[in-house]
Structure formats: C-alpha cells, structure tokens
Amino acid sequence: MTVAAVCAALLTLPALPASAAVPGDGAAPAPRIHDIQGTTRVSPLAGRHVADVPGIVTGVRDFGSARGFWMQDPHPDRNPATSEGLFVHTGEESPGVSVGDSLRVAGRVGEYYPGGEEAGGQSVTELTDATWKAAGERGNRGEGELPAAFRLTPRSVPAAYAPDAGGDSIENLRLRPDRYALDRYEALEGMRVAVRDAQVTGPTSPYHDLWVTTDRHQNPTPQGGTLYGSYEDQNGARVKVSSLLPLQEHPFPQANVGDELRGTTEGPLDYDQFGGYTLRATTLGSHRDHHLERERTRGQRPDELAVATYNVENLSPASEPAKFRRLADGLVTNLSSPDIVTVEEVQDDTGPEDDGTVSADRTLAMLTEAIEKAGGPSYEWRQTDPVDQADGGQPGGNIRVAFLYNPERVSFTDRPGGDATTPVRVVDEGGEPALSASPGRIAPQDPAWKASRKPLAGEFRFRGRTVFVVANHFSSKGGGDLEGDQPMEGRFQPPARHSEPQRVEQGRLLNAFVRDIRARDRDAVVVAGGDFNDFPFSPTLDALRSGHALTSPMNRLPEDERYGYVFNGNSQTLDHLLTSPGAGRPEYDIVHINAEFADQISDHDPSVVRIRRH
C-alpha cells in the first residue's frame, strides 16, 4: 500500500469583522483551553487571536520542522466533550520551555490538517504566532506538577468507532466521547493520556513509532495482534505511540506484535497523517519481548503442487545485498522452496532510477542466484516487461509481477506472442484450453489497468496435467497515480473507498478470463495469486469469486489467522491465492515472517497453497 505525503495546510478562514472581540484586550475575558477547543472538532474561536490562556506545559517537541509544546489547563470544566489540552506551534524554532512550566499564552487559533486538507484527515486545534510568559499560578501548582493523565482502557474507549455522517464530514457534529472511539480521542486532543501494560499490535516502524491496543480482547489474533475482519471492525482501541524523549538517551523499543510496553506509557495525545491519534510519550513503558518466532511451512509432498505468492517490496539491484539474502532464505527455509512463486513488486534493472529501463532480468537473476546459494532449487523465471512508467508504483521502478518456478518439479509451456500491450486469449488446443501466449498479460490495455500492474498468465505442467497460474498486483488503496481511499480515522465517515471501483473492475476481468478457461474445461486447475490490495470481505474479492470461478481456500483457516499484513495496528489480508474448483480442496498457509516484526524484509507475509495431484 502506497502512502503519498501531501503538503500540510491550515484551515483557511475568512477575515474577521472589525467588531470581533479579541479576548484579553479588555473586550472580553481571557478564554480557557476548553473554550478554544469547544464541543466539536473545529474550534469556535478558529482564526481569532486569544491572550492570557493559562496552562501547564505537558510535552515539548524540540525537533523537526513542527516544533512546539503542549499545555493543559489544570482547572478543567465538567464537560467531557471539551478537551483541556492544546498544542502551541513554534515552527522550526525550539520553544525554550520545559515540562511543568506554568504559562499564560497568546496566539492565533488555527486548525491544522496534517497531510493537507484534501487528504481527508482530521484537524488539530493549535495556537500559532504565539507568545507567552510565566504565570503567577506557578508557585501555587508546584514546579513539575502535571495534570493527571486520562487512562485509556476498554471501559473509557467506546467499542463503536465513529459517528455515521453518510460519508460527509463529522467536524461540526457535537462530540459524544462516551459513544464513539474517535470522539473520545478528539475530546482528549492535546491532553495527557496514558496506557498501562499495553500490548503491541503494530511493530516498530523505521520512523520510531508502534501501535498498541487499549483492549487486548478486541478481535485478537493468536500472536497478539488485532484482526481487521470487516469494514465495521475498525478496532478503535488501537493507538499509535511515538516518543518525545531524546532517542540517544532513550532508544525507542524495537517491538514486535504481541510484545508489551510494561508499566505506564503517557504523554499528550496528538493527531498525524499516518494513522491519526498518536500518544506522544513523555514516559515510555519498558519493553517486554515475547520472542515472536518466524514461521516455517512444511514441504510439499511428491504429489502436491506448492504455489506461493510473495510481495518482495520494490526489489531491484539497488536493494541492499542483505535483502536478496533474506528473501532467499525465507523462500527456501520458511516456505520450503515452493514449486511456483508469483512475485510482486519486482523492479527493473536500475530500480528507482528513471532512465527508461524496463528489463528486470538482472533483478530476477540476482534473486534466483541468492536462492540457489541459500540451498534452494535453481529457479527459472518468466515475466513480461511493461511499458515504461505505465504501471504505477515507485517512480522509475517499473514494478511488475513475475513467475519463479522449479524446473525439477514443474515445466513451463512457452508460447510466443506475449508483450506489454497484446492481450492473452484462451484458445482450444486439441479440445483443451490453452493460452494464446505464455506468459501473456490479461487485457493490458483495458482502462481498469490504468496506472496499475497487469496480470500475467502462464501455463505450467505438473505430473502430466496443465495448471494455469495468474500473477496479480491490483491497484493500490493509497491511489498511486489515481485517487486513494479516505483514511479510516479521517473526518469523512464512513470513509470513501475511492480506489475500490478500479479493483472491482480488475477482479471482473480476471474472473472472466478464468471463466473462459473453465468453459473449455470445467475441471481446469487455475491458481490466481498475488497482492490484490483488498480484503477477503471486499467487493473486489466478491468479483473474483463470482459464479464460483474461483474460491478462497484461505477461508478454511480459523478466522483469527487470516492475515498477512499489518497496517496502523490492524492485522489484515491483502494477499490471496485463489483456486478454481478443479483444484479440489487445497491446503492453505500464511507464513508469518514479516508483517508482525520490526525487522522485516518486506511488509507482506508470503502465502502458499498446496494442491494434491493423484
């Protein structure tokens, strides 16, 4: 899933009339923070200058280009919908304040949209162009004394996720923190919050953050994650955790799913474009390692055809040598050397360098050589070069799908004629279905594949029988060159899935292709594998399975084991291996070696299906 960073923006407001009162200038009493925050997501004072706003500094961001500090009113009102915390933005300048300082602050109230207003996220109420002075209350409070942190627990965070606005904005709806998780978090925006003995549901990222759950009983997975099992199971107990502590003195824990942050983790609650509400920790719990182990699947028996799928995440000769070694070890050791592998995100031979190169022979040669060095078979490969810059993905990389296969176990039926733009057709050959080109791309010029990878079909032979395999990488939820989905935690509820119609059309095209094969041989064995970028319960998968052309053997796994990708603390499924009825009842295994680990070589777990041939 590709996430495009968009420039941040402030809510644009019309100029205030000359008669607007300026709090603190003698026209009106100085507001408190809860007056600024109000009872909706947008401040009733947005665009106005305020002065003499009292608060205790609860956190300082003294790095990056969005520096500033959080402050909280030590004398809250009795309305649970009004936050008592506020961020004071100082830009690239360090604020020069310390946690525990008691201040009176002046500044302009603004609504800041991380990632830009068009990204669909919620805004953060903040003060800009701020000045401040020490408050006389400091001696009464005592230096360093902070307001108590609000503890996030299964009882304090509602199970229902967000109000339903029919797809419209929820910004102006009155907050109901006792009913909706997103309202609870918004009513705590800028305030000190705490989690205790929190279980990790999203591993530490390269950006020094992780996800925890405030309710470990909310749709748990066997490994300690949280399953995203439907569009109604958003799992609002998830919260992202990052740190305000200096990394050199307080290294961020390298945690896997199922690990814990023992004790108390607390700090002001913020909102960012990559996941929404984030606890900016001023105190981090201690990391308890639960020693999550990478799985290994069993080897296939002589009469079993093992077909795997693996998204290798922008693999090219520019990748680190260790990436090739670890991918190879995973294929050989953890996947037990499958007979056929559909591989996604294979880049061209110059990787992200945008120089017109489209060949991926060197990339695939380096991968297969690494597999052989790891003790695996001497895989051969088949693929079709795309048109330059036509298939989306990392600019210049020309990602595509490819087949690896073990010639000692299966053979590939080469049929000339396949290229980037010529569609493969199903033809009759001696009364049996065959491909007009092998490998060949399915409907590559159909508008459904705009800025997306085209499926690659190939004919294989296993123990005297033809097996049709299709490698896939459907369009991204992030949009890439097209419009992406609105964020789950955004201001539009329920969020629009803008990218979905394209994948549904892609699914229909693939479904029609499989039907063409089965129209000539009802018992034909077809395997469609890859990164479909959609969920088992999605309209895309419904389109793929329409008319029972394909089935999901994954559905025979226990429901809480159906995941191979972790996004924003939710364990979910994007990769699938679908089979035709002629394949019988294959055995399915998702091999968890990446998605739940901080140290991962790809963000996807591979999967394997074993088809028995008598």
Q: What is the mean pLDDT of the chain?
A: 94
> Residue 523's closest CA among 466, 456, 455?
466
pLDDT at 273 over 70: yes
Question: Beta partners for 53?
Answer: 105
Cα–Cα dist 271/123, whole Å? 8
Question: Beta partners for 202?
Answer: 211
pLDDT at 419 over 90: yes
For 13, the token pair is 């407001």
Q: Distance from CA of residue 465 to its chain's centroid?
A: 39
Half-sphere exposure at residue 266, Cβ-oriented, CA atoms within 13 angstroms: 16
DSSP state of 555: G
Cα–Cα dist 366/322, whole Å? 12
Backbone angles phi, psi at 539, to 5 degrees: -60, -30
pLDDT at 607 over 60: yes
Per DSSP, the three-state class of 151 is: strand
528, 158 Cβ separation under 8 angstroms: no
Domain 150-288 belongs in CATH node 3.10.20 = no
Cα–Cα dist 160/232, whole Å? 9
CATH number of this structure's domain 33-134 = 2.40.50.140
For 110, the token pair is 């603004």
> Residue 209's closest CA among 238, 249, 167, 172?
238
Question: In whole angstroms, how far apart are CA 573 and each of 161, 537, 538?
Answer: 21, 10, 11
Per DSSP, the three-state class of 467 is: strand
Cα–Cα dist 46/50, whole Å? 10
Burial class (CB in 10 A: 0-12, 13-18, 19+), 599: exposed
Given this model, what pLDDT does residue 21 score? Answer: 38
Ranges for all domains in the chain classified under CATH 3.60.10.10: 305-612
Q: Considering the chain, what percentage of its residues have pLDDT values greater than 70?
A: 94
Neighbours of 558 (CB within 10 A): 8
Q: Residue range 102-118: average pLDDT?
A: 97
Ranges for all domains in the chain classified under CATH 2.40.50.140: 33-134
- For the chain, the C-alpha Rg in angstroms (whole number) is 27
3-state helix, strand, coil in the chain (%, to 5): 15, 30, 55
- What's 303-345 look like in SS3? CEEEEEEEEEEEECCCCCHHHHHHHHHHHHHHCCCCCEEEEEE
Cα–Cα dist 341/324, whole Å? 15
Q: Residue range 177-193: average pLDDT?
A: 98
> Residue 297's closest CA among 599, 551, 598, 587?
587
Confidence of residue 4 (pLDDT cuts 50, 70, 90): very low
Confidence of residue 174 (pLDDT cuts 50, 70, 90): very high
DSSP state of 509: H
Cα–Cα dist 536/555, whole Å? 8
Which segment of 24-28, 162-166, 299-303, 379-383 scores lowest on mean pLDDT? 24-28
Neighbours of 310 (CB within 10 A): 30
Q: 284: Cβ–Cβ under 8 A, 6 or more apart, which residues?
A: 241, 243, 245, 250, 252, 253, 261, 265
For 584, the token pair is 């019988």
Neighbours of 369 (CB within 10 A): 14
Q: Look up residue 313 and give its amino acid.
A: E
Cα–Cα dist 72/57, whole Å? 7
Taking only the tens place, the pLDDT of each residue in 31-55 is: 999 999 999 999 999 999 999 999 9
128, 108 Cβ separation under 8 angstroms: yes
DSSP state of 438: B
Neighbours of 462 (CB within 10 A): 20
> Residue 102's closest CA among 139, 150, 50, 149?
139
Taking only the tens place, the pLDDT of each residue in 312-355 is: 999 999 999 999 999 999 999 999 999 999 999 999 999 999 99
Q: Which helix or strand (DSSP H or E) is residue 256 part of? A: none
As a dihedral over the C-alpha atoms of residue 384, residue 390, residue 393, residue 399, rounded to 10 degrees, the angle is 10
Cα–Cα dist 570/417, whole Å? 43
Q: Which of left, alpha, beta for 314 (phi over 0: left; psi -120 to 50: alpha)? A: left
Neighbours of 17 (CB within 10 A): 6
As a dihedral over the C-alpha atoms of residue 318, residue 321, residue 327, residue 331, rounded to 10 degrees, the angle is 120
Q: 293: Cβ–Cβ under 8 A, 6 or more apart, which residues?
A: none
Given this model, what pLDDT does residue 140 score? Answer: 41
Given this model, what pLDDT does residue 372 score? Answer: 98
Q: Residue range 516-522: average pLDDT?
A: 98
Confidence of residue 138 (pLDDT cuts 50, 70, 90): very low
Given this model, what pLDDT does residue 11 score? Answer: 39
For 365, the token pair is 């040669």
CATH number for 305-612 (one of 3.60.10.10, 3.20.20.330, 2.40.50.140, 1.10.10.10): it is 3.60.10.10
pLDDT at 27 over 80: no
Confidence of residue 20 (pLDDT cuts 50, 70, 90): very low
Q: 273: Cβ–Cβ under 8 A, 6 or more apart, which residues?
A: 5, 6, 8, 114, 115, 119, 121, 487
pLDDT at 141 over 60: no
As a dihedral over the C-alpha atoms of residue 100, residue 281, residue 189, residue 566, rounded to 10 degrees, the angle is 180
Confidence of residue 28 (pLDDT cuts 50, 70, 90): low
Question: Beta partners for 272?
Answer: 276
Given this model, what pLDDT does residue 143 score? Answer: 58
Q: Distance from CA of residue 557 to its chain's centroid?
A: 23
Neighbours of 589 (CB within 10 A): 23
